[in-house]
Amino acid sequence: MSGSVEGFRVEISRGRCLKDPTKVMIEAFYPEGFGDSVEMLALILPPLKARYSRQNRCTTIINEGRLIGVYSDGRILFCAKDMDEIRSILKYVRNLLEEASRLVREKGPPRVEDVEAYGRISVFKLYDYLPKTNCGLCGYSTCIAFATKVLQGEAKLKDCSLLSIYEWKHLVIKLEKDFNTTILKSLGWFA
């Protein structure tokens, strides 16, 4: 079965979703492709909610326990149970792609190396750049909990007020040196 939904040509597979047999595999197409927006997409989502593959030129979004593959050639792959869910997912992805496309127009395409580095930031790696005082000023009881929330997109790096203090500022400088300004911004250091 095929049709058009949210501006995408949609094909519904006869096969079932491997992760959830109550759903079917959906393949949506956008004929013009997504180009560099796919890389930018990986940077506008929290690191624990997106993964970029250079080999496939694809960003996989993790949303509400669902995997959504967004390919530069215009393909989107995901599983859904009905047309309402298909519409909802495609609207969500379209909105993300519009934001990514706007950022590419304004700032140019991101460097693939930056996108890959962003995807490699783990909770423990980010923790290395935090004060490790467990002061709770950020709203979380430990720095490791705060790092987890930052990477999940539920907190911003700037929420750690100690990083703005001279005594701890070197950690932000080191993070920027080891990664870069783009990644600092994606983690929420800049407003």
Nearest to 150 by CA among 105, 112, 118: 118
Euclidean distance between CA atoms 143 and 153, whole angstroms: 15
Interstrand relation of 24-29 and 50-53 (parallel, antiparallel or unpaired): unpaired
Backbone angles phi, psi at 58, to 5 degrees: -140, 140
What percent of the chain is modeled with pLDDT above 70?
98
Q: Report the CATH number that the domain containing residue 156 is assigned in CATH.
A: 1.10.15.40
* Residue-wise pLDDT tens digits, 75-99: 999 999 999 999 999 999 999 999 9
Euclidean distance between CA atoms 162 and 173, whole angstroms: 13
Residues 29 and 48 sit within 8 Å (Cβ to Cβ): no
Question: Is residue 137 located within the same domain as residue 171?
Answer: yes
Asked if residue 2 has pLDDT above 80, the reply is no
* Residue-wise pLDDT tens digits, 140-190: 999 999 999 999 999 999 999 999 999 999 999 999 999 888 889 889 998
pLDDT of residue 18: 83
Is 71 inside any structural domain?
A: yes
pLDDT of residue 182: 82
* Residue-wise pLDDT tens digits, 33-44: 999 999 999 999
Question: Is residue 81 located within the same domain as residue 18?
Answer: yes
